[in-house]
Structure 1
Amino acid sequence: MFLSGVFGIVIGIILGLTGAGGGILAVPALVIGLGWSVTASTPVALFAVSAAATVGAVDGLRKGLVRYRAAMLMALLGAVFSPLGVYFAHSLPNAVLISLFSLVMVIVALRMIGQVRGGQAVITQAKPQWQEKNCMLNPESGRLRWTMKCSATLALVGSVSGLLTGMLGVGGGFLIVPAFQHFSDIRMHGIVATSLMAIALISAIAVTGAIHAGAHITATGGVFIAASVSGMLVGRFLAPSIPAKAIQLGFAILCMVIASYLMLKTWM
């Protein structure tokens, strides 16, 4: 119980420092720290991610940053595909799930390292291509232009996020945030706030599906969830005082180390 609380606080702080993408560490914390299987860890991790994302989403709604229709569309498609992910999670061997999870962690780490190395150059190169974005804001109203291309893009992002959420217990922030950056001209604050709302909804739906499939949250899991939300608030408080590049690089290194450990422990 004590270890569950400690791991929850640590994961919560990382969530607060890195944004919703930090939820990818919740499952490894339970698998490595408490010896749980991926299937048992998934609903607890999702509940923690959903609770933490909800806090951020409420703050974003209060500030008027959330593109709530985009978030609802992604959540709706996530709701359709997350049960399929839950089905795969209960059908595949634990070793296969850990391998898939490790692969996702490596991809996230490489993307963050690329962001740190690219720096301002990436932003500068992206500006001339603003006309090629799938989802564009109306300069007069400030709202998204709901074209077929934009709707299809958001639907695809929500579908893949829901599938991975149900199968691996990841919130989906590592996918939704970069997808928004690439396919839309929404400012970063709006991207993060919208992502948090979508993640909160998708994770909550996936938790419901996992519980319906027979999973349950124990008292130890409840302590982890409560501690992660508390830690998330601490992380949000600390985030402005720590350089963004240092947070990204540290998170990337941590993901690579954990992924390597999980693979070695599983297959060696």
Structure 2
Amino acid sequence: MTALVVVLAVLVGVLLGLLGGGGSILTVPLLAYVAGLPTQEAIAASLVVVGVTSLVASVSHARARRVQWRTGLTFGAAGMVSAYAGGRLGQHVPDGVLMVAFAVVMLAAGIAMLRGRAAGSETSHPMALGKAVGYGAAVGVLTGFLGAGGGFLIVPALTLFGGLAMPVAVGTSLLVIAMNSAAGLVGHLSSTPMHWGLAAMVTAAAVVGSLAGGRLATRVRPEVLRRGFGWFVLAMAAFILIQEIPQSTWQPLSPLAKAAVSLTAALVVLALGLLGQKLGRRVDAAAESRRVAAATAAGTRDEDRRS
């Protein structure tokens, strides 16, 4: 079991380093279901793992000038306040409710990954102050409450609304995740015990993976990995929803009825995934059409100028 925890932690790190998010969504299920921690303790430990791993991964991106410091620090500072509040709030919510909420977030993340992310601008400029504060605060609540770094929300926000190029959005996202995770952890530590030994082991494995992911960031097509990971996230979400349905709901059901409910949940998740993938293909096709049209228009203008 320890070996499985380490292998999955390396995967978390690779995804964080490669995509600037996504891997953190696996950390809570990893610690809760594989390592066996109670939900509150799994969330607190995940903030250590995600925060340290993201900080280390951001260093290689910063060296390659793929971090927009002004945007990242503003976005992260706004998120730290709400992440602390989210961490305190999460302590008063039952474990089952937290995990169901986490599964819903995973569903949204998986569909977003299958849809694909905007490519962003070719060049990056600082995000508007109001947008950075607003989106940062919203993502911070999620980080503190559920222990998710929020990179799957940060990167699209930075590309779609902040005008950052995709590589810069990935590096900046890691800086924001590290800041939010630190604040969320402080909110949890006041009343939640921490398994420091386990957290240190998982963090070390994730850091190794993040360094590998950072090196791969410019060598592989992240959309291929992202969509495969999106399907995996959807499968994990279905598993959590089935596991966390209250016993009072399951007990009156026969084994056949339980199987039918589980199958229905799996089919709903599959349908959502297929819908997300279909939308993603349409978005990609539309983006390619715009790119070709822009290139054609630029070529026509060049010919006009030469003539």
Counterpart residue number, 2:142: 164
How many pairs does the alignment contain? 245
Name which of 217, 231, 238 aligns with 1:253: 231
Decide whether aligned partners of structure 1 residues 82 and 251 sit closer, same or farther in structure 2, where only a CA change above 3 A counts. same
Which range moved further: 96-105 or 194-203?
A: 194-203
**TM-score, length-normalised on structure 1?**
0.82
Decide whether aligned partners of structure 1 residues 59 and 238 sit closer, same or farther in structure 2, where only a CA change above 3 A counts. closer
Structure 1 residue 8 corresponds to structure 2 residue 9: yes
Counterpart residue number, 2:83: 82
Decide whether aligned partners of structure 1 residues 114 and 7 sit closer, same or farther in structure 2, where only a CA change above 3 A counts. closer
Cα displacement (A) at 1:158:
0.9
* Helix, strand or coil at the partner of 2:194: coil
Decide whether aligned partners of structure 1 residues 6 and 56 sit closer, same or farther in structure 2, where only a CA change above 3 A counts. closer
Which range moved further: 229-238 or 215-224?
A: 229-238
Gapped runs of 5+ residues in structure 1?
117-121, 131-136
Would you say the 8 A contact 2:107–2:234 is kept in 1? yes
Would you say the 8 A contact 2:73–2:176 is kept in 1? yes
Structure 1 residue 187 corresponds to structure 2 residue 188: no
Counterpart residue number, 2:115: 114
Counterpart residue number, 1:204: 182
Counterpart residue number, 2:97: 96
Counterpart residue number, 2:65: 64
Counterpart residue number, 1:119: none
**TM-score, length-normalised on structure 2?**
0.72
Measured on the aligned residues, the alpha-carbon RMSD in Å equals: 2.4
Letter in 2 for 1:231: G
Decide whether aligned partners of structure 1 residues 90 and 230 sit closer, same or farther in structure 2, where only a CA change above 3 A counts. same
Name which of 178, 181, 184 aligns with 2:156: 178
Counterpart residue number, 1:133: none
* Helix, strand or coil at the partner of 1:91: coil
Would you say the 8 A contact 1:8–1:223 is kept in 2? no
Q: Deviations over 1:17-63 (max 9, x none)?
A: 43322211111111121222221111221111112211222223223
* Helix, strand or coil at the partner of 2:65: coil
Cα displacement (A) at 1:3:
4.4
Cα displacement (A) at 1:143:
4.5
Gapped runs of 5+ residues in structure 2?
251-307
* Helix, strand or coil at the partner of 2:233: helix
Name which of 200, 207, 217 aligns with 1:222: 200
Q: Percent identity?
A: 29
Q: How does 1:26-45 map to 2 (within 5 A)?
A: 26-45=27-46
The structure number with the bigger radius of gyration is: 2
